[in-house]
Structure 1
Amino acid sequence: MSTVSEVAAAPSALALAHFEASLAFETDCWDVHHALSTGQRDFVLLDVRGSEKYAAGHVPGALDLAHGKIIGSKMAAYPAGTLFVVYCAGPHCNGAARAAIRLARLGRPVKVMPGGITGWLDEGFALEKAAAASPAMS
């Protein structure tokens, strides 16, 4: 018996519930890219890594808002039902989870884009560069 099968897989009904629920918490780079490139942008994309990293390269259309700066007064500019999608550097970074926690505590709908910049680049998508933070969120 391998270490893969040493622990039995979950029953199908439990696996279905788990994987269906996971999509309520995250979206992937491909889906974000598709929405942005087809004009179906029904969310606000936040780069939560910090202004220097944002300026060096970010997902096109993302706003610069470090996870530690997500506060009620900044989020008040958006209608209550606005969906936020957050990302950070990649799977080795927990900044997106920290941002999602802050947004959820503020009662805001939020999804994480796992993979972050690393995943975006792995998909072959280009980054945008900026000289400074986005004026709307800094």
Structure 2
Amino acid sequence: MPSLISEIAPASPAEALQHFSRRLAFETDCSDVHQSQTAGNVDYVLVDVRSHDAFLATHVPGAINIPTRTMSEQRMADYAPDTLFVVYCAGPHCNGVHRAAVRLAGLGFAVKEMIGGLTGWVDEGLPLQGGSNEKAGTGFACEC
């Protein structure tokens, strides 16, 4: 009897290559963002899409705050059309990051999600910036 893992046949290597390559076109992770920051190789704009108050309380160092609801053509006009945005929210329990990615892509910008958001950043043991430096699970406000 096959295990729960193998009872559904895995994708072919070619299908797996296509699938996981596509995921990397849409996602990055906290460790990669931190590593690029540490190396001084930041070729993207890191955006916290939560409310201004949530951002002031705590955020990823190097991030700017553009709440999703403020992402308009006028607001984003200061950015070159070839700007790559990396967006994050409170964590994997919030889809505000996806709304922000849809909005930015709709405005013609390249966008990737920093998977895990603030919760992932803390889980990686990386430092936060801001007033409260809360721990994961104790109040990272979404307010997207």
TM over 0.5, yes or no? Answer: yes
What SS does the corresponding residue of 2:80 show, helix, strand or coil? coil
- Aligned equivalent of 1:13: 14
Q: Which runs of 5+ in 1 are unaligned?
A: 132-138
Deviation at 1:2, TM superposition (A): 2.8
Instruction: Give TM-score, length-normalised by structure 2.
Output: 0.87
Q: Give the match for residue 114 of structure 2.
A: 113
Runs of at least 5 residues in structure 2 that lack an aligned partner in the other structure: 133-144
Structure-2 residue corresponding to 1:93:
94
**Separation in structure 2 between the aligned mates of residue 55 and residue 4 of structure 1, nearest angstrom:** 44
Amino acid at match of 1:100: A
| Cα deviation, residue 130, structure 1 | 5.4
Are 2:84 and 1:49 equivalent residues in the alignment?
no
Report runs of 4+ in structure 1 exceeding 3 Å deviation.
none
1:1-138 correspondence runs (5 A):
1-129=2-130
TM-score (norm 1): 0.90
Query: Deviation digits for residues 13-47 of structure 1, max 9, x if unmatched?
Result: 00011101111101110110011111111100100
Matched residue, 2:142 = none
In 2, distance between residues paired with 1:75 and 1:6? 48
Report the AA paired with residue 110 of structure 1: V
Within 2, Cα distance between the matches of 1:92 and 1:7?
Answer: 27
Q: How far off is 1:55 after superposition?
A: 0.9
Q: Distance in 1 between matches of 2:14 and 2:71?
A: 37
The count of residues paired between Structure 1 and Structure 2 equals: 131
Q: Which residue of 2 aligns with 1:136?
A: none
Identity %: 53
1: CA distance, partners of 2:17 / 2:86: 24
Letter in 2 for 1:51: H
* CA offsets 1:99-126 (integer angstroms, 9 cap, x no match): 0000000110000001000000011101
SS of 2:87's partner is strand
Aligned letter for 2:15? L
Asked if the contact 1:54/1:130 (under 8 Å) is kept, the reply is no
Q: Whose strand proportion is higher, 1 or 2? A: 2
Report the 3-state secondary structure (helix = DSSP H, G, I; strand = E; otherwise coil) of the residue aligned with 2:54: helix
